[in-house]
Amino acid sequence: MKIVISIFLLLATFQLQAQDYFLQDKGPFDPDIPSPEAFFGYPVGSHHTRHDQIIAYLTKLAEVSERAEIIQYGKSYEHRPLVMLNISNPDHLENLAELQKKHLLATVPGSNADVSELPVFINLGYNVHGNEPSSSEAALLSAYILVASEHADIQKYRSDAVIMIDPTINPDGRDRHTQWANMFKGDPLVADPADAEHNERWPGGRTNHYWFDLNRDWLLGIHPESRGKLNWYHEWYPNVVTDFHEMGTNSTYFFEPMKANASKDPIMPAENYTTLNDKFAEYYVEALDDIGSFYFTKEVFDGTYPGYGSSYPDLQGGLGILFEQASSRGHVQETPTGKITFAFTIRNQLTSSLATVKAAVENKDLLYDYQKRFFKSAISNAEKSNVEGYVFGDDYDENRTKAFIDKLLLHRIKLYELEESVKAKGKTFSPGNAYYVPTKQPQYRMVQTMFETYEEYTDSVFYDASAWSLVNFYNLEYAPLKKGAKKGKEVTREDLKLKNIEVKKSNYAYLVDWNDYNSPALLWRLQNAGANVLSAFKPFSLPVEGKQKDFGYGTLVTPVSQQHISGDSLYSLVKDAANEYSVEVSSATTGYSKSGVDLGSRYINTLDKPEAFMLIEDGVSSYEAGEVWHLLDTRVDMPISKIPMRNFENINWERYNTMVMVSGSYKQLDSTDHEKIKNWVSSGNTLITIRNASEWAIKNKIVKEKLIEKEKDKESDEQIDKAKQIERKPYVEASENIGKQSVGGAIFEVDLDLTHPLAFGYQREKLPVYRNSSVWIAPSENPYATVAKYTADPHIDGFITDKNLNEFLKPSASLIVSKVGKGRVVLFADNPNFRGSWYGTNRLFLNALFLGQHIDVPSE
């Protein structure tokens, strides 16, 4: 008995000490509220806490205290709840709906709402990158302190603020990493950076279920994590939002202000960068100096791209703040300056969290004034602009247009149907297919973000993309209007609901335009159910229900005879698919066309069902692989086998007719493996390569194509001349100068061959593509093989050096097909599936997948 007691005491002392590292000076604490350590049975920092445990603890706080309530705002792909713990005085929490209403008045342009009595709304957001785990642990401590502490400062925070804690923005990624770090944790701990604990396997925990970086998705709004968050966001418009990260282990700590050399979103009020950031920085300096932590500001990181967790709030009248902590990536790791512990990283994040709350509370008036002025200036800036609104639309593809409208609505941009046709930029935009977005609205800055393009930049080295005009991602025709269009009915979410598609039963054939974004999904549904579907490689015109109708390249032809299933089964299959994907189906009664080919023509090809696999793991870009997987899973409902590189030897080649290789080093593949791939393609199969994989295929002679390469060093005489001209540059400028040369993500225009199967479904030769690489493919020597080439004046949006533009980009091809025996390789220089949001170029990839087997490369 005695022994038991003394062990218990020992444990209690140890716990107190462990917690003291984080909690000293923060108390006294309400003894009825459990600390994280008491709740979990281990000190914070000694173990990685799973997301379900985090939720259990926050739920406990909400249960035992009237100062906290927990709400769920969404759910991840892997069914993990996304939650927010609201902390404030019980009075505030009871009246939260009323406070919310008053708070939101500050976002109504020109309203003279009295906000002097209102609490400030603070959103502490943690762990968007799953393997940057210190912040979620800090969230536990922040929550505990803010709920349980009776310290005068903390009491003041609760009465002057509503603090909304989002403990884990990316729980699927966090738990991947959590499992990893815990399962390799040694006892004693191993600090050796080479230990497995510090080296996650592919794809790592940074990203979400589909291996996407959620810290780019705030603008793109593709994933449930961000969509849930954006819907929450626009209900609250917090005054301050934090975004906690980790960076390389051999570093210190970063907080804003960001890079001084002004890589700044050009539409942001300067005040955000100057007054607000500088003011908050004073608090971080004081708090971090106080605990002896080193840090830096201004040198790197920019908030130019508007889809970060630290930049999106800046575009919504709030202040978004980025923090970057040197990572212990595991429980403890050696660095040149000593060991960095998990607990140390957590303490810095906790310190910044509390400093943020303090700064927000002490600058409440400034933040509310700023928020009011921000939305007021949205209107006055729009009035000063010479653009009254934008018109956009597509005459052929309703579902792609709807996908773009979904994004506008997600950002609370107001848009309207057209009352009458509008002529602009040589095109007629018609009611029914086109829409109008006025600039004079509270979300004017988001309107600019969606439609404006830029050519000049104050800086040339970007942390990420330098182009984000979403209208180009969706390949929608659009035009700025000097004089606004006549507004029709306002467009709402109701308008995005699936339409009821009537399909008339046919005894001859069903025809489906290939134009619609969802047509490939419909095709897969039919093929997967065993239907025999053909594709028209030449256009035709047929009578449908008494009227002559034109059908373009790629039209799907499903004969009623020549099927293994009955006419009735086929009818219900077609009808269900048409309704599920909202794609129109025409019922033909004859195969004789008025113009173009007949339905029995040799240009109407029976399609092979794609049996596809993709190589993944070590050396392969998890982002690009994830983009392919996500596209097929979520938009086409089609499976793709993801085969790890380590199983290359065991691939059953007979089983597949299509192989996808995204960017990767593919170093593990030797010349025998190259031959294996080449032989498989030669026997009539299709290899699709993207970006660096295209370069790989050319360099390893899988195809006989060429790259446009940098000039090799010339011979000796020339070298002497060259030596004379060698320019010296200041050492300190090196990283800026070199960074400039990379193509960091910009939008360019290509010209498509609309008669090529890879371009089926496109109606315009001109297509915007996204480029973020230096893979320059020379146009093929075969005149029929270059499907997409850059136009003479290709720049649409984003930064590129003149040299890259003129010497490399302009002469190069964006997409070519190369014949290999009876098969072919489809080589993409640009990524058609970038971040799940390039609806405009997805079709090129899906054409390669669904039509690839039927693409010939004719030679003269």
Q: Residue 266: which of 462, 32, 58, 33 has the closest Cα?
A: 462
> Residue ranges of the alpha helices (H) in 189-298?
217-220, 224-236, 270-271, 277-290
Q: How far is the CB of 132 from Zn ion (least distance, A)?
A: 5
Using the minimum distance from each CB to Zn ion, give the nearer residue, 126 or 760: 126
Measure Cα distances from 855 to 611, 819, 824 in Å.
Answer: 16, 9, 8
Using the minimum distance from each CB to Zn ion, give the nearer residue, 48 or 129: 129
Find the part of the chain contacting Zn ion (CB under 5 A) among 189-197, 240-248, 460-468, 690-698: 240-248
- The single residue among 129, 331, 411, 414 that binds Zn ion, judged by CB under 5 A, is 129
Fill in the per-residue mask, 19 to 38: x = in contact with Zn ion (CB under 5 A), - = not in contact. Answer: --------------------
Q: How far is the CB of 310 from Zn ion (least distance, A)?
A: 10
Find the part of the chain contacting Zn ion (CB under 5 A) among 52-60, 124-132, 417-425, 808-816: 124-132
Using the minimum distance from each CB to Zn ion, give the nearer residue, 223 or 445: 223
Side chain identity at 623, as an amino acid letter? Answer: Y
Q: Does 358 bind Zn ion (CB under 5 A)?
A: no
Q: How far is the CB of 324 from Zn ion (least distance, A)?
A: 7
- CA R_g for the chain: 29
Helix (H) or strand (E) holding 452: none
- Region 131-170 residues binding Zn ion, contact defined as CB under 5 A: 132
Q: How far is the CB of 215 from Zn ion (least distance, A)?
A: 6
Which residues contact residue 264 at a Cβ distance below 8 angstroms, ignoring those fewer than 6 apart?
273, 302, 303, 304, 458
Using the minimum distance from each CB to Zn ion, give the nearer residue, 309 or 744: 309
Using the minimum distance from each CB to Zn ion, give the nearer residue, 322 or 418: 322
Helix (H) or strand (E) holding 325: strand 319-326
Q: How far is the CB of 19 from Zn ion (least distance, A)?
A: 27
Q: How far is the CB of 128 from Zn ion (least distance, A)?
A: 7
Scan for tokens 């709920």, then name that residue. 147
Find the part of the chain contacting Zn ion (CB under 5 A) among 243-251, 350-358, 642-650, 814-822: 243-251
Find the part of the chain contacting Zn ion (CB under 5 A) among 242-250, 679-687, 815-823, 851-859: 242-250
Q: How far is the CB of 327 from Zn ion (least distance, A)?
A: 9
Q: How far is the CB of 206 from Zn ion (least distance, A)?
A: 7
Q: How far is the CB of 135 from Zn ion (least distance, A)?
A: 9
Using the minimum distance from each CB to Zn ion, give the nearer residue, 35 or 328: 328
Using the minimum distance from each CB to Zn ion, give the nearer residue, 132 or 175: 132
Using the minimum distance from each CB to Zn ion, give the nearer residue, 245 or 264: 245
Q: How far is the CB of 785 from Zn ion (least distance, A)?
A: 41
Instruction: Tell me the C-alpha distance between 445 and 411, whole Å.
Output: 10
Burial 152-183 (b: 16+ CB within 10 A, else e): eebeebbebbbbbbbbbbbbbbbbbbbebbee
Using the minimum distance from each CB to Zn ion, give the nearer residue, 327 or 449: 327
**CA 683, 631, 433: angle at the middle one, nearest 5?**
115
Instruction: Tell me the C-alpha distance between 210 and 219, whole Å.
Output: 18
Q: Residue 580: which of 524, 515, 514 has the closest Cα?
A: 524
Which residues contact residue 393 at a Cβ distance below 8 angstroms, ignoring those fewer than 6 apart?
401, 429, 430, 433, 434, 435, 476, 477, 478
Q: How far is the CB of 76 from Zn ion (least distance, A)?
A: 17
Instruction: Tell me the C-alpha distance between 274 and 516, whole Å.
Output: 47
Using the minimum distance from each CB to Zn ion, give the nearer residue, 171 or 832: 171
Q: Does 216 bind Zn ion (CB under 5 A)?
A: no
Instruction: Tell me the C-alpha distance between 69 and 62, whole Å.
Output: 5
- Region 51-70 residues binding Zn ion, contact defined as CB under 5 A: none
- Region 743-802 residues binding Zn ion, contact defined as CB under 5 A: none
Find the part of the chain contacting Zn ion (CB under 5 A) among 241-249, 385-393, 773-781, 824-832: 241-249
Q: Does 177 bind Zn ion (CB under 5 A)?
A: no
Which residues contact residue 638 at a Cβ distance below 8 angstroms, ignoring those fewer than 6 apart?
521, 524, 528, 610, 632
Using the minimum distance from each CB to Zn ion, give the nearer residue, 129 or 364: 129
Q: How far is the CB of 129 from Zn ion (least distance, A)?
A: 4
Instruction: Tell me the C-alpha distance between 585 and 109, whole Å.
Output: 46
Using the minimum distance from each CB to Zn ion, give the nearer residue, 322 or 405: 322
Q: How far is the CB of 199 from Zn ion (least distance, A)?
A: 18
Instruction: Tell me the C-alpha distance between 464 and 306, whole Å.
Output: 10
Using the minimum distance from each CB to Zn ion, give the nearer residue, 243 or 265: 243
Instruction: Tell me the C-alpha distance between 828 and 481, whole Å.
Output: 35
Using the minimum distance from each CB to Zn ion, give the nearer residue, 89 or 207: 207
Q: How far is the CB of 305 from Zn ion (least distance, A)?
A: 14
Cis? peptide before 811, omega within 30° of 0: no
Instruction: Tell me the C-alpha distance between 430 and 168, whole Å.
Output: 45
Find the part of the chain contacting Zn ion (CB under 5 A) among 157-165, 237-245, 310-318, 388-396: 237-245
Q: Would you put residue 25 in left (φ > 0), alpha (ψ -120 to 50) or beta?
A: left
Using the minimum distance from each CB to Zn ion, give the nearer residue, 132 or 166: 132
Q: How far is the CB of 329 from Zn ion (least distance, A)?
A: 12
Which residues contact residue 362 at a Cβ distance below 8 angstroms, ignoring those fewer than 6 apart?
none
Binding residues with Zn ion: total (CB under 5 A): 3
Q: Which residues are bridge partners to 620 per DSSP?
A: 664
Using the minimum distance from each CB to Zn ion, give the nearer residue, 174 or 824: 174
Instruction: Tell me the C-alpha distance between 103 and 567, whole Å.
Output: 60
Using the minimum distance from each CB to Zn ion, give the nearer residue, 130 or 836: 130
Q: Exposed (0-12), middle (13-18) or buried (19+): which is 793, by Cβ within 10 Å?
A: exposed
Q: How far is the CB of 309 from Zn ion (least distance, A)?
A: 9
Name the closest residue to Zn ion (Cβ). Answer: 245
Q: How far is the CB of 770 from Zn ion (least distance, A)?
A: 22
Measure Cα distances from 814 to 16, 339, 395, 621, 776 in Å.
Answer: 62, 48, 25, 20, 8
Question: What would the two tokens of residue 651 be?
Answer: 């691939």
- The single residue among 176, 245, 402, 843 that binds Zn ion, judged by CB under 5 A, is 245
- Work out whether strand 612-616 and strand 547-551 pair parallel, antiparallel, or are unpaired: unpaired
- Write out the residues near Zn ion by the rule CB under 5 A: 129, 132, 245
